[in-house]
Structure 1
Amino acid sequence: MKITQDAHVSFHYALESEAGEVLDGSRDGEPLTYIHGHRQIVPGLEAALEGREPGERFRQRVPASEGYGERDKSKVLELEREAFAGMPGLKIGLFCQIEDEQGEMRLGKVVALDTRQVTVDTNHPFAGQDLLFDIEVLSVRAATAQELSELG
């Protein structure tokens, strides 16, 4: 069966840097599964999987605009240091959960700090980067009615 709308797909992937370093992936664990055509993975990768079959291996470059998007300067937040008073070990590079203006929790990375402010970048870590995927399609089947109903 080929990957088409509403197919349940299972695949292994490695997200690699230009130098071939694996930045993220599934090969040391469980494969990634999704229902095709429902925006559960980045759009450029979903488009590249269209029409593929189990057993296919391929490499795909996904431009930032079809991956995690371009970096958004408005997602770099300057926050008062006192908001982090209960957080021991605050340092550059630390990932933390913060609440935005709408009350939604967002994951951010501390990119700068001083005695008064903490700068947190809530862009996805791969935003603004082209993505290089190494893909192995493991299985493809029609999604069940229950799986489709769970998509919301």
Structure 2
Amino acid sequence: MTDNANMISSSSEVILHFDLKLKDGSAVDSTRVNKKPAKLVMGDGSLSKNFEACLLGLSKGDRKSFEIAANDAFGMPNPDNIYHLDRSKFSAEQEISEGMIMGFSQPDGSELPGIIRAIAGQSVTVDFNHPLAGQDVIFDVEIVDVR
């Protein structure tokens, strides 16, 4: 019988190990690499509602794997998030190449990551969609502790 005090609820603090993989098995992220579990507070916005929903009801010691469809994981790519910038927007000494991820300063001082998708003459195509947009993912979790 599971102790409800150790069951994840909508306000729990959770310590967990996770592996995030694409459907082809390629690793995207893992807490196991550094042998340091992640800590999160349910409802704090660090995970999407869909990822949090997978954790609800799990308890300390549970291991589970979830397949999450692209729409419920990181969403689908939005064509409005793809911009064509003039090469002059980048400093002359800044090397850029296709596939490179770089930070772009926003008016509020924050940085938004963008992926260089193409370079054609003086036009640089930058994709500001999440790198995993459009990808189904597999979320493997091991619950270390619930508070």
Shared fold by TM > 0.5? yes
User: Corresponding residue for 2:67?
Assistant: 61
User: Corresponding residue for 1:74?
Assistant: 80
Q: How much identity, in percent, do the aligned residues show?
A: 28
Equivalence map 1:3-152=2 (5 Å): 3-29=8-34, 30-100=36-106, 104-141=110-147
Unaligned runs of at least 5 residues, structure 2: 1-5
The offset of 1:89, in angstroms, is 1.8
- Stretches (4+) displaced over 4 A: 100-104
Name the TM-score, length of structure 1 as normaliser: 0.85
User: Corresponding residue for 2:3?
Assistant: none
* TM-superposition CA deviations, 1:22-77 (whole Å, max 9, x none): 22111122211111123321222200100100100010011222211111111111
The offset of 1:86, in angstroms, is 3.7
Q: Considering only aligned residues, what root-mean-square deviation do their CA atoms show, in Å?
A: 1.7
Paired letter, 1:62: I
1:59/1:108 CA distance change after superposition, 3 Å: same
Question: How many aligned positions are there?
Answer: 141
Paired letter, 1:27: R
1:37/1:84 CA distance change after superposition, 3 Å: same
Give the conservation status (yes or no) of the 8 Å contact 2:22–2:135: no
Give the conservation status (yes or no) of the 8 Å contact 1:63–1:129: yes
Unaligned runs of at least 5 residues, structure 1: 142-152
